[in-house]
Amino acid sequence: MNRQSYKRDVRPEQTAGMTLIVKTVARLTVGLILIFGTYVVFEGHLSSGGGFPGGVIITLAFINLVLAFGWKPLMGKLPRRRAVLIGSLGISLFLLLSLFGLISGVFFKNVIPRGEAFNLFSAGHILYCNIGICLNVGMGLFAIFLALILFRIEPEDGA
Amino acid sequence: MPELSVLMLILFVIAAAIVAIEIKDLLSSVVAFGAIGMGIAVIFLLLKAPDLAITQLVVELLCLVILIRATLGQKPLEKRSPLFLPLLLSAGAFLIVFLVSAALALKELPEFGQPLMRVSQTYIDWSLSMVRTPNVVTAIILDFRAYDTLGEATVLFTAVIGVLAVMRKVGRKKTKSDSSRDGRQN
Q: Tens digit of pLDDT for each residue in B25-52?
A: 888 889 999 999 999 999 999 988 888 8
ipTM of this complex > 0.85?
A: no
**pLDDT of B113 above 80:** no
Question: What are the domain boundaries of chain A?
Answer: 2-158
A104 three-class SS: helix
- The Cα angle at residue B55 between residues B54 and B59, in degrees rounded to 5: 120
Q: List CB contacts of A154: < 8 A, sequence separation 6 or more.
A: B169, B172
Which CA distances in Å does B1 have to B7, B8, B52? 11, 12, 21
Which chain A residues in 46-65 lie under 8 Å from chain B, judged by CB atoms?
Answer: 46-50, 52-53, 56-57, 59-60, 63
pLDDT score of B2: 67
Mean pLDDT over each residue of chain B, to the nearest integer: 82
Residue B170 has pLDDT above 70, yes or no: no
Give pLDDT tens digits for A90-115. 888 888 888 887 777 777 777 777 77
Please tell me the distance from the alpha carbon of residue B88 to that of residue B85, in angstroms, as a whole number: 5
Chain B positions touching A1 (Cβ under 8 A) are: none
* Lowest model confidence (mean pLDDT) among A10-19, A48-57, B54-63, B94-103: A10-19
| Rounded Cα distance, B54 and B50, in Å | 6
The answer to whether the CB of B69 falls within 8 A of the CB of A148 is yes
Instruction: Among B44, B132, B141, B172, pick the best mutation site for testing chain A contact (most A Cβ within 10 A).
Output: B132
Q: Is the pLDDT of residue A155 over 70?
A: no
How many CB atoms neighbour CB A14 within 10 A?
15
Q: Is A16 helix (H, G, I), strand (E, B) or coil?
A: coil
Kindly calculate the radius of gyration of chain B based on its CA atoms and give it in whole angstroms. Answer: 23
A145 in B contact zone (CB under 8 Å): yes
Distance from CA of A103 to the nearest CA of B (A): 16
Highest mean pLDDT among A1-15, A92-106, B25-39, B112-126: B25-39
Sign of CA dihedral A40, A43, A45, A48: negative
Residues 64-123 of chain A with CB under 8 A from chain B are: 67, 80, 84, 87-88, 91, 94-95, 98, 107-108, 110, 114-118, 122-123
